[in-house]
Amino acid sequence: GAVVSQHPSWVICKSGTSVKIECRSLDFQATTMFWYRQFPKQSLMLMATSNEGSKATYEQGVEKDKFLINHASLTLSTLTVTSAHPEDSSFYICSAMSADYGEPGQFFGPGTRLTVL
Amino acid sequence: AQKITQTQPGMFVQEKEAVTLDCTYDTSDQSYGLFWYKQPSSGEMIFLIYQGSYDEQNATEGRYSLNFQKARKSANLVISASQLGDSAMYFCAMRPTDNYGQNFVFGPGTRLSVLP
């Protein structure tokens, strides 16, 4: 139980294009999902909290117009990087919250590695 | 605000020996959880062990144990009988336990290298 998937696992795109990353909870419903970003040799930093049926809450310094988050159902949240630039190249990881499986209470997807050329 | 400190950017350990990875934290929450994650080069976050702030006994999970000293605000991870497959980044994290809706706060991580 408590499996979270991400798609794609890696993506390469040209500068100026948009990229959509999907985060799915496969065997549970998640009203809350989180999006983290990780630069090489650094830690995970929270970008935004995604709540089903409502607007995402972004952390300070994260551009909401650049990183569009949509949590349209209880099992799917998407992160769209609009007009991507090389500095957006990073590892993006989502986690989904569930109180049904005990700790850790949030379960991570395998991550998506984005490279912008 | 919550903060996690891991003062060891990198650690080396000989295979089959034990190693301790340090973690100190700061929080104003009364009820919180402390977590350790392993991140191999593939990038996936692997949950290792959890310690609740009100747990009196140190958590253990196979070869992993958590040395929890609440007064000193430390939650060190001890890995016994290190294996080559233990080479990875290790992150200490915390989160309030009275609210699953809160995100994790991660430390900067420690890169562990196990030597044959």
Tens place of pLDDT for every residue, chain A, 117 residues?
799 999 999 999 999 999 999 999 999 999 899 999 999 999 999 999 998 888 999 999 999 999 999 998 999 999 999 999 999 999 999 999 988 888 888 899 999 999 999
Residues of B in contact with A5 (CB under 8 A): none
Residues B97/B52, Cβ–Cβ less than 8 Å: yes
Residues B4-26 have a mean pLDDT of: 97
Residues of A in contact with B50 (CB under 8 A): 103-104
Q: Tell me if A49 and B33 make a contact (CB, 8 A cut-off).
A: no
Place of tokens 């190693």: B19
Pick the closest to residue B1 from B28, B23, B19 (CA basis).
B28
Q: Residue A88 has what DSSP assignment?
A: G
**Mutation to test the A interface, candidates B23, B38, B45, B106, most A Cβ within 10 Å:** B45
Helices (H), chain B: none
